[in-house]
Amino acid sequence: MFDEDGRSNAPAAEVRTAAVIPAAGRGVRLGPGAPKALRALNGTPMLVHAVHAMAASRAVSLVVVVAPPDGSAEVKSMLDAHALPERTDVLVVPGGQSRQESVRLGLDALPPGYDIVLVHDAARPLVPVDTVDSVIEAVRGGAPAVVPAVPLADTVKEVEPAEVAGAAETVLATPVRARLRAVQTPQGFDRGTLVRAHESVTGEVTDDAGMVERLGLPVVVVPGHEEAFKVTRPLDLVLAEAVLARRRLNDGF
Ligand SMILES: Nc1ccn([C@@H]2O[C@H](COP(=O)(O)OP(=O)(O)OP(=O)(O)O)[C@@H](O)[C@H]2O)c(=O)n1
Ligand SMILES: C[C@](O)(CO)[C@H](O)COP(=O)(O)O
C-alpha cells in the first residue's frame, strides 16, 4: 500500500484495520500480583477494557491479543466472558520477553487482508474511541506511521545518570518544552512499513513508531487524550478507576 518513501498508493476505502495488543508484560512497576494486563479495574481485567477500546472503533475488525507466555487460556476465557461487537474477531497468541518481541509475535499472527495495523498497549485501557479513530484516519490519509501525543505538564531535564545507585544526577540540558510530546497508543501503521521496521530495526526501542523513524520515514502526530495514560505504577490504578467512575456518572448510571 505504501512505496519505499512512505507514499500511499492504495485507495483508503478498501483498507481493513487490525489492532495488535501487547499484553504479555509482568507489570513490575505496579508491584506484586498477577500480570498487569490481567489485573482488574472495577472488576474487569485491564486487557478486556483495552480490547473493547479497540473494538469500539467501527474500523477495527480484528484484535490480536498478545498474552502473557503461559496465559493464553486464561485470556481466552476472560474475553469469552465479555462479548465484543459481532463485527470484531479476536485472536490470542503467546507473547515474548520484551514488548518489541511481543508486538512482532502479534504481527506474525496477522492474517492477510489487513493493511492498517494499530499497536495498542493493554496498559492503556481507557483510550477514547475518538483517539483511535483519529489515528486510523491519519494512516488512511497516507501517513506510514501515526502516534497520538499530548503536551507535557512538567519541564523535562536531560541528565547524566548517576554511576552508583542513589547518587545525585546532574543536569545536562533542558529541552524546549513546547517542542516535546508524551506519546501514547494506539500507534497506527501501514502494515508493510511496520513489518519492515520489525524485521530490520534492532537495538533498544521503547515504541513502534521509533522503529519507523529509524527507517527514515515520517511519523505523523495527532492529538492524544489524557485518559489514554499508561497504567504503570500503583497510583495509576486509582486514577483509572476514578476515570471509570466519572464515565459512569456522565453516562447517567
Ligand atoms: N514482554 C512484554 C513486555 C511488555 N508488554 C506489553 O507492553 C505494554 C507496555 O509495557 P509496560 O507498560 O512497560 O508493561 P510491563 O512491561 O508489564 O511493565 P513493567 O515495565 O513495569 O514490568 C503492556 O501492555 C505490556 O503488557 C508485552 O506485551 N510483552
Ligand atoms: C509505547 C509506549 O506506551 C509509548 O509511550 C511506551 O513507550 C511503552 O513503554 P514501556 O516502558 O514499555 O511501558
3-state secondary structure of 250: helix
The domain 12-148+181-251: what is its CATH number?
3.90.550.10
Strand 145-151, strand 181-183: pairing: antiparallel
Per-domain residue ranges of the chain:
12-148+181-251
Q: Say yes or no to pLDDT of 4 above 60.
A: no
DSSP letter (8 states) at residue 98: S
CA-angle at 183, arms to 142 and 177, nearest 5°:
115
Q: Is 150 in the pocket of ligand 2 (CB under 6 A)?
A: no
As for the ipTM of the complex, it is 0.98
Helix axis angle for 191-200 and 99-108, nearest 10°, is: 130
- Whether 5 shows a pLDDT value over 80: the answer reads no
Peptide bond before residue 186 is cis, with ω within 30 degrees of 0: yes
To test ligand 1's pocket by mutation, which of 65, 121, 187, 229 has the most ligand atoms within 8 angstroms of CB? 121
Tell me, in angstroms, the distance from the centre of ligand 2 to residue 117's CA. Answer: 17
Q: Which ligand is nearest to the CA of 32?
A: 1
Q: Which residues line ligand 1 at a C-beta cut-off of 6 Å?
A: 22-29, 36-37, 66, 95-99, 102, 121-123, 230, 232
Predicted pLDDT at 13: 54
Ligand 1 center to 167 CA (angstroms): 28
Q: C-alpha cell of 62?
A: 480484528
Q: Whose CA is nearest to atom 11 of ligand 2?
A: 206
| Residue from 20, 36, 64 whose mutation best tests the ligand 1 pocket (most atoms within 8 A of CB) | 36
Instruction: Write out pLDDT tens, residues 187-232.
Output: 999 999 999 999 999 888 999 999 999 999 999 999 999 999 999 9
Instruction: State yes or no: cis peptide before 94, omega within 30 of 0.
Output: no
Least distant ligand from the CA of 28: 1
pLDDT (0 to 100) of residue 8: 47
What is the CA(205)–ligand 1 centre distance, in A? 13
> Mean of the per-residue pLDDT values for the chain?
94
CA of 35 to the centre of ligand 2 (A): 16
pLDDT tens digits, residue range 66-107?
A: 999 999 999 999 999 999 999 999 999 999 999 999 999 999
